[in-house]
């Protein structure tokens, strides 16, 4: 209305100027400039009426100007630090992610009513151009705009409906509400993004967002680690984050990275004393604020037991030693899902008490923890790294005493499963399926290892012990087969590598019986399991690897038609896990990766994942002759068949001897 150069004489007006209103200061209402604005050297503008929203436009312009200044300062800071690229703060005009999010709010392409400029600014990424799109998302750094509320809600729904049961580590309602709290009260961004990544991975419509969200999550986590002295990443939320990241990385076959992420989660949990939440008689260092209520305490317990279960799963699958010592665990088992979700306090026992007092009711999650514990004890006993005692002393050897003890524990747990874990009435429950199959698989591993050790050391086992072990194998394998026949969602079940491992274990029992007894029933059962592995192997790389392994084992026993069943499987263009039997008196089988080899000059060669390079890689290894090269191969024929059909991986036979000139792996580990 006026400016500094107005020649009009001062006069009083009835309304305060915008500047004094904004600062809530007293205005002398002198027109054209009040005393405060004149003293501060600011422009003075009076409203034309008493409408309170008239000044909003000027405030918006001021905020836009300040935002522009901050962007300029950020760009100058990046240039001074030698960081290339444009500012990473998204603006409404040039954010392709924002247009993507807005387009996904309605789950459809932009409407025809949108302006031409908006349509030209964004084109949804095509599947063949995902790599550049992923790079575009990740280049946003730590200042990107969050996805839309609708997209976040959709991914959260998918996560808690399809993924949460595998790692019930978060309280569903509290976590979702916390997303809308102020930043200092909401979960760290790394945890939010990894949950969205897991949800996106579980749905075909959003799967292309899984890897960008995962990379964002790791970027935020690494930023938290680098703040100050690293104390900002020692929280329960970060322990949950690394456990969920390990879960995602295992699904993506990033096994070395998943193992390292799990190690981080374990150490953070131990630094927070999550393994001693219920220890009595000792005063622990105050690393965590006391929980606000029982539900928060239960979430901390669940965080620990998810981490514990992952550690035991890795030890079972790979043969590595477990990172958690049972003697140091003083945290009660998790309560039921109903009590946790409804904030109703429920009493639980410790792991040792639950194993000793079989028959008492415990939660689904607690049953999964107990099964993982017993499965690990079984594999620990049967591996050649456990005991140096002489297994020939059947009466006094600690090996055979522990064998009988574990056998009793497995049988007792199976007989006294609570009603919520019994089959077939809970066949739709993924946890019930996992618990029952894992117990039967552990029984097979225990008794098969006993027979293998007796044969290796030429032991004269008592008749009752030999008959007992032989009699337990086939029924356990048939139980696994029966559960798989009843399972409705077999694809979801086989996302767990341990269930794939158990299926292969049962198949080997049928193969042994078919070879020794020429049983037509065992042959039919074996064909059914091979069909499952081949069918699911078209979309699951781990299952595909075991389908090839089983076909090779059948061929070694004289059933050459099995190789025709796997011809339809597409070649693998990625490094995949293999089943490799340890070179010992154990019959344990572990997941391994394709190993690198050294050329004749001694210089290591990185194993290329392309099909052609993989073919040449294994061809050169088989033709190398005597050397110190370590291979996951157990026979030249196996390698030739794999090269003929697939080229990108090798398999391990169960009964064949190592080829001359090749030293088998001394321990199952990633190379």
Distances (CA, A) of 532 to 46, 322, 486: 79, 31, 13
- Determine, yes or no, domain membership for 83: no
CB 565, CB 528: distance < 8 Å: no
Both tokens assigned to 513: 């019986």
Tell me what pLDDT residue 337 has: 93
Both tokens assigned to 374: 């017993």
Tell me the backbone φ, ψ of residue 358, rounded to 5 degrees. Answer: -65, 150
Q: What's the CA gap between 648 and 630, in Å, rounded?
A: 17
CB 609, CB 571: distance < 8 Å: no
Neighbours of 646 (CB within 10 A): 23
| Among 508, 482, 507, 483, residue whose Cα is nearest residue 493 | 483
Whether 459 has a pLDDT exceeding 90, the answer reads no
Cis peptide before 550 (omega within 30 of 0): no
| Among 328, 412, 402, residue whose Cα is nearest residue 370 | 412
What is the CA angle 408-413-418, rounded to 5? 160
User: Lowest-confidence range among 53-67, 368-382, 482-496, 539-553?
Assistant: 53-67
pLDDT confidence band for 389 (50 / 70 / 90):
low
User: Lowest-confidence range among 447-461, 529-543, 546-560, 647-661?
Assistant: 647-661
Residue 20, classed as helix, strand or coil, is helix
CATH assignment at residue 41: 4.10.240.10
Tell me what pLDDT residue 119 has: 31
- Of 137-151, 331-345, 450-464, where does the model show the most confidence? 331-345
Both tokens assigned to 272: 């927070």
Distances (CA, A) of 165 to 159, 202, 207, 431: 9, 13, 19, 8
Distances (CA, A) of 263 to 21, 239, 639: 57, 10, 34
Look at strands 597-598 and 604-605 and give their pairing: antiparallel
Per-residue pLDDT, averaged over 353-363, amounts to 84
For CA atoms 411, 412, 415, 417, the dihedral sign is negative
As for how many domains the chain has, the answer is 3
Mean of all residue pLDDT scores within the chain:
74
Residue 176, classed as helix, strand or coil, is helix
Name the E strands within 497-645: 577-581, 589-593, 597-598, 604-605
| Among 300, 298, 302, 352, residue whose Cα is nearest residue 330 | 352
- Tens-place pLDDT, residues 242-287: 999 999 998 887 888 999 999 999 999 999 999 999 988 766 667 7
- Determine, yes or no, domain membership for 195: yes
Q: What's the CA gap between 653 and 639, in Å, rounded?
A: 10
Examine the domain organization and report whether 50 and 155 are in the same domain: no
- Tens-place pLDDT, residues 195-243: 999 999 988 899 999 999 999 999 999 999 888 888 889 999 999 999 9
Residue 2, classed as helix, strand or coil, is coil
Examine the domain organization and report whether 268 and 156 are in the same domain: yes
Examine the domain organization and report whether 152 and 287 are in the same domain: yes
Domain boundary (326, 344, 373) is at 326
Q: Which residue has the tokens 């225990």?
A: 446
Both tokens assigned to 366: 């607690």
- Determine, yes or no, domain membership for 561: no
Q: What's the CA gap between 426 and 339, in Å, rounded?
A: 19
- Determine, yes or no, domain membership for 257: yes
Tell me what pLDDT residue 587 has: 55
- Determine, yes or no, domain membership for 640: yes
Examine the domain organization and report whether 298 and 192 are in the same domain: yes
Residue 350, classed as helix, strand or coil, is coil
- Determine, yes or no, domain membership for 128: no
DSSP state letters, 484-527: HHH-S-HHHHTTSHHHHHHHHHHHHHHHHHHHHH--HHHHHHHH
Whether 305 has a pLDDT exceeding 50, the answer reads yes
pLDDT confidence band for 649 (50 / 70 / 90):
very low
Residue 23 is part of which domain span?
A: 11-54
Whether 481 has a pLDDT exceeding 90, the answer reads yes
User: What is the pTM (predicted TM-score) of this model?
Assistant: 0.68
| Environment class of 26 (CB within 10 Å of its CB; exposed 0-12, middle 13-18, buried 19+) | exposed
Per-residue pLDDT, averaged over 84-108, amounts to 38
- Determine, yes or no, domain membership for 103: no
| Among 264, 367, 378, 358, residue whose Cα is nearest residue 311 | 264
Tell me what pLDDT residue 393 has: 66
| Environment class of 544 (CB within 10 Å of its CB; exposed 0-12, middle 13-18, buried 19+) | buried
- Tens-place pLDDT, residues 556-590: 888 888 888 888 775 554 445 555 444 344 455 66
Tell me what pLDDT residue 307 has: 97
Per-residue pLDDT, averaged over 365-394, amounts to 77
Examine the domain organization and report whether 49 and 152 are in the same domain: no
Tell me what pLDDT residue 2 has: 44
What is the CA angle 34-36-37, rounded to 5? 70
Both tokens assigned to 84: 């290339």
Tell me what pLDDT residue 611 has: 33
Domain boundary (311, 326, 341) is at 326
Examine the domain organization and report whether 44 and 151 are in the same domain: no
pLDDT confidence band for 63 (50 / 70 / 90):
confident
Tell me what pLDDT residue 590 has: 60
Q: Which residues contact 544 (CB under 8 A, 6 or more apart)?
A: 533, 537, 538, 569, 572, 576
Residue 172, classed as helix, strand or coil, is helix
Whether 140 has a pLDDT exceeding 60, the answer reads no
Domain boundary (326, 342, 362) is at 326
Examine the domain organization and report whether 292 and 164 are in the same domain: yes
Tell me what pLDDT residue 507 has: 94
Tell me what pLDDT residue 72 has: 75
Tell me what pLDDT residue 111 has: 37
- Tens-place pLDDT, residues 592-619: 554 433 343 443 343 333 333 433 433 3
| Among 295, 305, 302, 277, residue whose Cα is nearest residue 341 | 295
CB 611, CB 536: distance < 8 Å: no
Whether 647 has a pLDDT exceeding 50, the answer reads no
What is the CA angle 344-345-346, rounded to 5? 115
- Determine, yes or no, domain membership for 612: yes
């Amino acid at each position: 209305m006026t400016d500094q150069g107005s020649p009009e004489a001062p006069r009083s007006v009835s309304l305060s100027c915008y500047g004094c209103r904004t600062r809530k200061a007293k205005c002398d209402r002198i027109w054209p400039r009040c005393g405060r604005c004149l003293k501060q050297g600011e422009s003075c503008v009076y409203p034309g009426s008493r409408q309170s929203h008239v000044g909003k436009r000027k405030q918006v312009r001021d905020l836009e100007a300040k935002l522009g200044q901050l962007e300029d300062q950020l760009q100058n800071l990046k240039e001074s630090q030698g960081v290339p690229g444009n500012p990473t703060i998204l603006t409404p005009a040039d954010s392709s992610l924002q247009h993507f999010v807005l387009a996904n709010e309605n789950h459809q392409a932009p409407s025809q009513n949108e302006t031409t400029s908006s349509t030209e600014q964004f084109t949804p990424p095509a599947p063949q151009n995902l790599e550049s799109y992923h790079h575009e998302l990740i280049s946003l750094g730590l200042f990107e705009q969050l996805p839309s509320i609708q997209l976040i809600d959709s991914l959260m729904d998918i996560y808690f409906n399809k993924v949460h049961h595998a790692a019930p580590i978060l309280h569903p309602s509290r976590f979702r509400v916390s997303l809308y709290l102020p930043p200092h009260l909401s979960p760290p961004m790394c945890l939010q993004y990894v949950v969205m990544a897991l949800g996106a991975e579980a749905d075909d419509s959003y799967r292309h967002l899984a890897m960008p969200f995962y990379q964002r999550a790791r970027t935020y986590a690494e930023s938290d680690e680098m703040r100050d002295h690293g104390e900002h990443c020692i929280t329960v939320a970060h322990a949950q984050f690394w456990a969920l990241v390990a879960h995602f990385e295992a699904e993506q076959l990033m096994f070395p990275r998943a193992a390292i992420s799990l190690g981080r989660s374990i150490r953070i949990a131990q630094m927070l004393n999550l393994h001693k939440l219920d220890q009595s008689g000792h005063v622990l260092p105050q690393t965590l604020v006391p929980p606000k209520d029982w539900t928060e305490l239960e979430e901390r317990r669940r965080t620990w037991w998810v981490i514990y279960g992952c550690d035991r799963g890795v030890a079972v699958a790979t043969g590595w030693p477990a990172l958690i010592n049972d003697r140091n665990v003083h945290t009660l088992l998790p309560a039921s899902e109903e009590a946790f979700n409804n904030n109703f306090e429920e009493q639980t026992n410790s792991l040792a008490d639950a194993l000793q007092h079989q028959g008492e009711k415990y939660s689904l999650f607690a049953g999964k923890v107990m099964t993982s514990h017993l499965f690990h004890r079984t594999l620990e006993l049967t591996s050649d790294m456990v005991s140096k005692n002489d297994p020939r002393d059947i009466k006094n050897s600690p090996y055979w005493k522990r064998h009988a003890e574990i056998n009793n524990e497995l049988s007792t747990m199976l007989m006294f499963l609570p009603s919520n874990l019994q089959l077939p009435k809970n066949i739709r429950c993924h946890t019930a399926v996992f618990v029952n199959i894992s117990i039967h698989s552990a029984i097979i591993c225990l008794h098969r290892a006993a027979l293998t050790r007796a044969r290796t050391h030429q032991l004269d086992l008592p008749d009752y012990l030999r008959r007992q072990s032989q009699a337990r194998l086939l029924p356990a394998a048939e139980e696994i087969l029966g559960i798989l026949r009843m399972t409705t969602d077999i694809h979801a079940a086989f996302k767990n590598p341990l269930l794939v491992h158990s299926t292969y274990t049962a198949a080997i029992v049928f193969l042994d019986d078919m070879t020794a007894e020429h049983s037509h029933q065992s042959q039919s059962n074996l064909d059914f399991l091979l069909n499952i592995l081949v069918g699911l192997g078209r979309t699951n790389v781990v299952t595909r690897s075991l389908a090839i392994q089983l076909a090779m084992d059948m061929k070694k026993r004289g059933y050459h038609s099995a190789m025709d069943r796997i011809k339809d499987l597409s070649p693998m263009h990625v490094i995949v896990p293999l089943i490799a039997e340890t070179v010992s008196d154990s019959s344990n089988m572990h997941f391994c990766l394709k190993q690198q080899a050294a050329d004749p000059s001694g210089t290591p060669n990185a194993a290329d994942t392309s099909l052609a390079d993989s073919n040449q890689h294994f061809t050169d290894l088989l033709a190398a002759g005597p050397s110190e090269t370590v291979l996951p191969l157990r026979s030249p024929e196996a390698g030739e068949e794999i090269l003929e059909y697939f080229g990108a991986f090798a398999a391990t036979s169960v009964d064949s001897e190592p080829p001359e000139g090749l030293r088998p792996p001394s321990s199952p580990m990633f190379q």
